[in-house]
Amino acid sequence: MNRARTVAELRTALAGVPRPVALVPTMGALHDGHLALIRRARELGATVVVSIFVNPTQFAAGEDLAAYPRDPESDGRLAAEAGADLLFAPSAEEVYPGGFDTAIDVRGVAAELEGDPHRRGPEHFRGVATVVAKLFNMVGPDIAVFGQKDAQQALVIRQLVRDLDFPVRIEVHPTVRDADGLALSSRNRYLNAAERERALALSRALRTAEELVAGGETEAERLLEAAGAELDRAGIVPEYLELRSAADLVPVERLAGETLLCLAARVGPARLIDNVVLRPATEPALHTRPLTGAAT
């Protein structure tokens, strides 16, 4: 696996490589969720680039930028094992040299949920959209792989790519979870054993709603009530727990198409997010079901 720290090194390393080029942008501290994305990129691309950059502009003042886990040695080994051809790990000065003065504002989907001024705020997705646009211009990928774990981020990136005509196909990979259901996240490293146990209520809450939907429930109020009760039992007060259209984040009162049940909650020192895509059960209406025992 090659490594590049500057845009010049990156361009040299990428000159003449076989296409398609598949990019997996990350902030490092790689875990199995990231590695699943890299393996997917390996399936889709002839050349796989993994970027590692803890992007300061997507952290609000008072967030965990300084504490964010960094593990460059393990990251290099894991990325290579998962099939990366090139690891791009630029410095903050390389990405934002003196005089840098541009930002990309995706509106609409970026203004909801995480982008709400009472939550992470508009700076968050401004930082994400700007750095992803820069990474796309630096790497010039044909494909970029993102995780459903950050469902809203994936929607913001799709909007960015559509609106600014980036010739990049966006692939979204399902959320990778630990065996007990906890969605993998670099921020899980902040949790001690008791907090990790409590954090399991997040995926339990999502699963509870999923099971209700499988049983035919479609009312947002009942789904949110049941999911909220799971959080409540663990003493977790969510920052948000909402049902939104998976296409455009419009609030949903009754499940119709693909619907995102998404939540954010603080558990100990960590702010965690998780989500699940709900689809209404496709049971045929009662009168069209074959009668039990009837010949077919």
Instruction: List residues with catalytic annotation.
Output: 34
35 or 212: CB nearest ligand AMP: 35
Out of 27, 49, 160, 278, name the contact with ligand AMP by CB under 6 A: 27
Q: Which of 148, 131, 129 is nearest to 37 (CA)?
A: 148
Q: Which of 24, 16, 170, 18 is nearest to 88 (CA)?
A: 24
85 or 150: CB nearest ligand AMP: 150
Contact between 184 and ligand AMP by CB under 6 A: the answer reads yes
32-91: which residues touch ligand AMP (CB under 6 A)? Answer: 33-34, 36-37
Count, residues near ligand AMP per rule CB under 6 A: 17
47 or 51: CB nearest ligand AMP: 51
Part in contact with ligand AMP (CB under 6 A); list of ranges 25-33, 80-88, 265-273, 286-294 = 25-33
- Interaction pattern, residues 128-167, with ligand AMP; x per rule: CB under 6 A: ------------------xx-xx-----------------
- CB 1 within 8 Å of CB 84: yes
Part in contact with ligand AMP (CB under 6 A); list of ranges 60-68, 92-100, 178-186, 282-290 = 178-186
**CB hemisphere CA count around 281 (13 angstroms):** 14
CA 292 vs CA 244, 264, 289, 295: distances in Å: 37, 44, 9, 9
CB of residue 283 to ligand AMP, shortest distance in Å: 30
Part in contact with ligand AMP (CB under 6 A); list of ranges 26-34, 85-93, 102-110, 276-284 = 26-34
Contact between 275 and ligand AMP by CB under 6 A: the answer reads no
CB of residue 100 to ligand AMP, shortest distance in Å: 21
- CB 230 within 8 Å of CB 263: no
Q: How far is the C-alpha of 240 from the C-alpha of 195, rounded, in Å?
A: 19
175 or 220: CB nearest ligand AMP: 175
CB of residue 233 to ligand AMP, shortest distance in Å: 24
Which residue sits closest to ligand AMP, CB atoms considered?
147
Contact residues for ligand AMP (CB under 6 A)?
26-27, 33-34, 36-37, 146-147, 149-150, 173, 175-176, 183-186
